[in-house]
Amino acid sequence: MEVFKIIYTVLGGLGIFFYGMKSMSEALQSVAGEMIKSIINTLTKNRVSALLVGIVVTMLVQSSSVTTVMVVGFVNAGLMQLNQAIGVVFGANIGTTITGWIISIKVGKYGLLFIGLGIFPMLFGKTNKWRQIGRIFFGIGMIFFGLKLMSDAFKPLRTMPEFLDAISYFSGQHYGSYIASIIVGCLLTIIIQSSSAMLGITMALAMSGVIQFHTAAALVLGENIGTTITAMLASVGGNIEAKRTARAHAFFNLLGVLVIFSIFPYYVEFIDWVIPGDPSFVNEKGEYSKIAVHIASGHTIFNVTAALIFLPFVRTLASFITRITPDKGVKEQYHLVMLGDPSSIIPATALSQARTEANKMKDIVDREFALTESLLKGEVPKDKQAETIAKIQHYENVCDNIQKEITVFVLKLLESPLSTKESEDAHSLTKVADELESISDYLANLANYSKRIPLEVLLDEEAGADFFNLFTKVKKYYDEVGHTFVEMMDVDLETTWSTSEELRKEANIIRSRHLERVGEGRYEPMTALTYSDLIVSLRKIRSHTQNFAEGHYRATLPS
């Protein structure tokens, strides 16, 4: 019966710990979303700045797995190069050690206090910011309370002969027990899918006196290997650069563990020497109160040392990973890939990724515009016209696919808790993608109309002058709106609307003017329909460009 009680108490405590970590991480992401976005936007190819970005972002979201999955997603979307990604991963390994310091606090003393501090703003806060701050405190309290439950549940194991016999091999101070502990730490982290949770369990076991410090230190090394499985899973289905990033993360952690493993007894002695207090000290309550700080220190020392040692060799590591992960001669096209559930990605970074895809979509529409203009102006040789029309149609198909991917991705993201500003940005992106896809459709229509009647017959003299005058104005209107979107500039809606209305009126006048020319017998009656369709397509492009501007306007509104 005692064993059953230990099991359900540990599972309950672990569940509370998990819920606390999830609540705290989601709330931190919501509160710090804009800060995370601005930090990421400052990324450069400088390996030191990439390292600092990894540290800061991971400290803000309290999860190295979230950061590494985010990095894999950015590399997959072409937002980040492999060298940058490796630097961010190094930083993420350092940033995640803050979790160990948080949970090394005397958990039993503060758990319920933080829950009490957090529950009222979480439930009754008038603004989303205050509710999320309440969730942060509530989450921290749940973490501490869950660890307290686990620590208390493990205490009877100290006097249970069967359990002590089972783990006696892991308690030995020899390399066989060290490697066994590392393997167990790695496997359990892979199963639980959270190095923070495994670190919490390790600390709970150590504070209860069930395992000694050297065993805990070896388990932590194994946890550093096991945590890389999250990024490996995230890279499945991604492009070659995403796979390389995930493998670089795994290789870096594995190599770091091998280095420390080779000098493990000295590593443990060094931590004992650096950190005051005896890890085997037992207070009046029977708790090993000093050991948690030693474990947190060992976790930090390992990751900081590994990052500093390997940081000068980022390019070498990137070259090695590239060699062992060849692209097999296939040229890959970057596109948005659903790396698992978008709700597991930091909303701010997920929106940045989707926005970059929208920028790429806009670039494709730009190319489609230029090709269509060349075709209509007769600048494409006759023997190349069919090929050009096919290429324009290909661009239109690509825009269709990207629009669907952005919409599905953002709609799934909207199922997550978002701030008001993030929700506006999400709706703005779906609107922009939809309007760009519509503009692409009408450009393809313009190209296809050239198959009906020879353009030199349809667009000669006055009819051609009217059409190309309108085409140039519509294209300029589109370019101006597109520029404000790419550069994230404020939109002057009054000017946008007035320009759109002027173009609409001009399009109607041009249509009427051509009908008069047909009535006068200057053009064949059959040209009236095609010419009208050409003008209507330009008018529709004008209309969707106005909608494009309005969609972007939502994202520029202050939060």
Among 32-46, 365-379, 441-455, 506-520, the range with the most confident prediction by mean pLDDT is 365-379
Span 253-284, pLDDT tens digits = 898 899 899 999 999 899 988 888 888 777 77
* Confidence tier at 475 by pLDDT (50, 70, 90): very high
Q: Does a structural domain hold residue 74?
A: yes
Domain limits for position 547 = 342-556
Span 327-353, pLDDT tens digits = 765 444 444 444 445 655 677 777 877
The per-residue pLDDT for 208 is 80
The structural domain count of the chain equals 2
What SS3 state is found at 333?
coil
Answer yes or no: is pLDDT of 389 > 80: yes
Q: Does a structural domain hold residue 42?
A: yes
Would you say 105 and 113 are in contact if contact means Cβ atoms under 8 Å apart? no
* C-alpha to C-alpha distance for 210 and 151, rounded to whole angstroms: 10
Q: Residue 156 half-sphere exposure, CB side, CA atoms within 13 Å?
A: 13
The per-residue pLDDT for 128 is 77
User: Model's pTM, two decimal places?
Assistant: 0.63
Answer yes or no: is pLDDT of 42 > 70: no
* C-alpha to C-alpha distance for 68 and 504, rounded to whole angstroms: 49
Q: Does a structural domain hold residue 75?
A: yes
Answer yes or no: is pLDDT of 546 > 90: yes
The per-residue pLDDT for 362 is 93
Do 285 and 195 lie in one domain? The reply is yes
Span 127-136, pLDDT tens digits = 777 888 898 8
* C-alpha to C-alpha distance for 279 and 372, rounded to whole angstroms: 74
Do 171 and 26 lie in one domain? The reply is yes
Contacts of 226 (CB under 8 A, 6+ apart): 185, 186, 187, 188, 189, 190, 195, 198
Do 288 and 198 lie in one domain? The reply is yes
Answer yes or no: is pLDDT of 399 > 80: yes
Question: Locate tokens 């149609």: which residue?
Answer: 393
Do 313 and 347 lie in one domain? The reply is no
Answer yes or no: is pLDDT of 172 > 80: no
* C-alpha to C-alpha distance for 274 and 510, rounded to whole angstroms: 83
* Confidence tier at 365 by pLDDT (50, 70, 90): very high
What SS3 state is found at 208?
coil
Do 419 and 390 lie in one domain? The reply is yes
Q: Does a structural domain hold residue 164?
A: yes
* C-alpha to C-alpha distance for 282 and 483, rounded to whole angstroms: 66
Contacts of 97 (CB under 8 A, 6+ apart): 296, 299, 300, 303, 304
Do 319 and 390 lie in one domain? The reply is no
Do 409 and 478 lie in one domain? The reply is yes
- Tell me, letter by letter, the H, E, C secondary structure of 80-115: CCHHHHHHHHHHHHHHCHHHHHHHCCCHHHHHHHHH
Do 376 and 516 lie in one domain? The reply is yes
Q: Residue 260 half-sphere exposure, CB side, CA atoms within 13 Å?
A: 34
Question: Locate tokens 């958990």: which residue?
Answer: 107
User: What is the average per-residue pLDDT within 27-47?
Assistant: 65
Nearest to 16 by CA among 97, 114, 95, 122: 114
User: What is the average per-residue pLDDT within 413-436?
Assistant: 85
What SS3 state is found at 418?
coil
Do 280 and 373 lie in one domain? The reply is no
Nearest to 494 by CA among 544, 538, 540, 550: 550
Do 359 and 315 lie in one domain? The reply is no
Answer yes or no: is pLDDT of 16 > 80: yes
End position of a domain, from candidates 294, 324, 354: 324
3-state helix, strand, coil in the chain (%, to 5): 80, 0, 20
Q: Does a structural domain hold residue 330?
A: no
The per-residue pLDDT for 340 is 44
The per-residue pLDDT for 431 is 92
* C-alpha to C-alpha distance for 117 and 386, rounded to whole angstroms: 69
Q: Does a structural domain hold residue 337?
A: no
* Confidence tier at 435 by pLDDT (50, 70, 90): very high
Do 352 and 306 lie in one domain? The reply is no
User: What is the average per-residue pLDDT within 34-57?
Assistant: 69
Would you say 13 and 148 are in contact if contact means Cβ atoms under 8 Å apart? yes
Share of the chain above pLDDT 90, in %: 15
Q: What DSSP character marks residue 346?
A: -
